[in-house]
Structure 1
């Protein structure tokens, strides 16, 4: 599902999962498993795919591994749905190198955070996004991820860049529903607002968000597509029921508990679930993430079974 936007292309709506990157036991991209995962998502009825984001372990992948992901997804999907590529890096010159690789691969749009590691000013963040848009020639989606980049993209900045045609949309993973609502209410040019929260999708859609980018959508794409369809036809009771089933399933991300970081626990859970569902060969996560143990994977299996997925 799509609509025109100020960037002159199709702004996404619907369910756009941030695709996991399956790895082999020696930490290389498992292309065969990756292709099966892409088919699993397409069979689930998703509206687009987002590679090289947080759920893709983009922060852990080498540039060569990023290129393998890009070439595989664009070649395999072959235009069936739009493909967005994360071009996430610390500063504009580094991001532009990723933009060139993404453009060469043939993606539909790029996704960038504010600069990080460096301490930036809103004027520098504006210049960052304007430069990406000018040099890439593709729709640019801002990724609002303050937990990782330590900068919140305010509604004023997003709406200003949307009005300029610099930004085609935002993936809002800030957890600030009030800020997201301000963007939804303030947009004048078409601008795609996508929530990154797995557990409040029904309320975001009710507010007027255009779609969702759910990491848990790797595990259960059909569930998020059903949730979106219920909301689209105004059946909010059915949407809430499906959302609550997915909230219970989302407990898999906590199974790692305090034994590891949130990234290790969450991404490990998604991969363990995909492995248990027969989609990917190996649930390993990139170094230095701590792997889930046998007991933890067993607990994830029980949650999958409760959700009707095993």
Structure 2
């Protein structure tokens, strides 16, 4: 399978099911892939934030990519995160995911080290020059503490360094600047939103697709939303988006007094998949804190309200 250019549609960042002892549950991962395929998604993104990439060992990362690529069997593109602190480490991940058969690498700006825009640009150029597969930028300032400017993204796109952008910055003005500036980019370049709750607005602005963590739970809902927007049926799109906004409320099920936002959100996605019978165990990677039975019950209520239980 080759990466379509530009990449379009619904490309969920695939959760990584774990066993009670925190090993990758490949049987549940295969069921999750089937669940997403049955929902009609257009691609799969493994080893992103929703995949708990930061918590996985290199061995576990390799197992995830290999399992998903083999099971997808070329039916749709598989993107894989090559997310790490510095260029040499990212290049190691790019080589590994390429050997496993992934169709593209998704890369953030460097982090932990203090960086300058010139160093971030150099990072992407070095990664792309050494990569046998297309490279997409992942704008995730909440985690890497650097916002990719529209100017930098468009410069790298125009030079053929980047094949696309996954924007999870939440900065809608900057997102629109990329979409407007893309008109002058002489090569195909895909722009995807990472927001679950403003997909209709992003597609109306000209985005090519969406990478929704909540798409693990309700892939068919995001596929319907995308189709409604592409058909110009904005009333139907708004109704579907508002239903998904209600469902997204599950990410607040965890008590903020005892856990962080990632524990709550990722725990909710996994609890929902467990309640829907897709994965065998809802545990998240250490040191995240698991949801309590009462918090899991809240997730179930969101599922029921969205017509998913």
User: Same-fold call, TM > 0.5?
Assistant: yes
Q: Secondary structure at the match of 2:6?
A: strand
- In the other structure, the counterpart of 2:296 is 297
CA shift at 1:138, angstroms?
A: 1.1
Task: State TM-score, norm by structure 2.
Answer: 0.97
Query: What are the within-5 Å matches in structure 2 for residues 265-284 of structure 1?
Result: 265-284=264-283
Residues 252-305 of structure 1: CA distance to partner in whole angstroms, max 9, x if unpaired? Answer: 000103121000000000000000000000000000000000011111111101
Structure-2 separation of matches of 1:175 and 1:153: 12
Structure-2 separation of matches of 1:118 and 1:11: 32
Residues 167-212 of structure 1: CA distance to partner in whole angstroms, max 9, x if unpaired? Answer: 0010000000000000000012321110000000000000000000
2:5 and 2:188 in contact (8 A); partners too: no
- In the other structure, the counterpart of 2:263 is 264
- In the other structure, the counterpart of 1:71 is 66
Residues 134-161 of structure 1: CA distance to partner in whole angstroms, max 9, x if unpaired? Answer: 1112111000000000000000000000
1:195 maps onto 2:193 in alignment:
yes
CA-atom RMSD in angstroms? 1.0
Unaligned runs of 5+ in 1: none
- Of the structure 1 ranges 54-63 and 297-306, higher mean CA displacement relative to structure 2 is found in 297-306
Structure-2 separation of matches of 1:133 and 1:91: 14
Unaligned runs of 5+ in 2: none
Q: Secondary structure at the match of 1:171?
A: strand
Structure-2 separation of matches of 1:44 and 1:35: 14
How many pairs does the alignment contain?
Answer: 304
Structure-2 separation of matches of 1:69 and 1:42: 17
Task: State TM-score, norm by structure 1.
Answer: 0.97
Q: Following superposition, which runs of at least 4 residues in structure 1 exceed 2 angstroms of deviation?
A: none
Structure-2 separation of matches of 1:246 and 1:260: 24
CA shift at 1:238, angstroms?
A: 0.5
2:228 and 2:236 in contact (8 A); partners too: yes
Q: Which of 108, 112, 123 is residue 107 of structure 2 equivalent to?
A: 112
- In the other structure, the counterpart of 2:213 is 215
1:252 maps onto 2:247 in alignment:
no
Structure-2 separation of matches of 1:36 and 1:101: 24
CA shift at 1:103, angstroms?
A: 0.6
CA shift at 1:24, angstroms?
A: 0.1
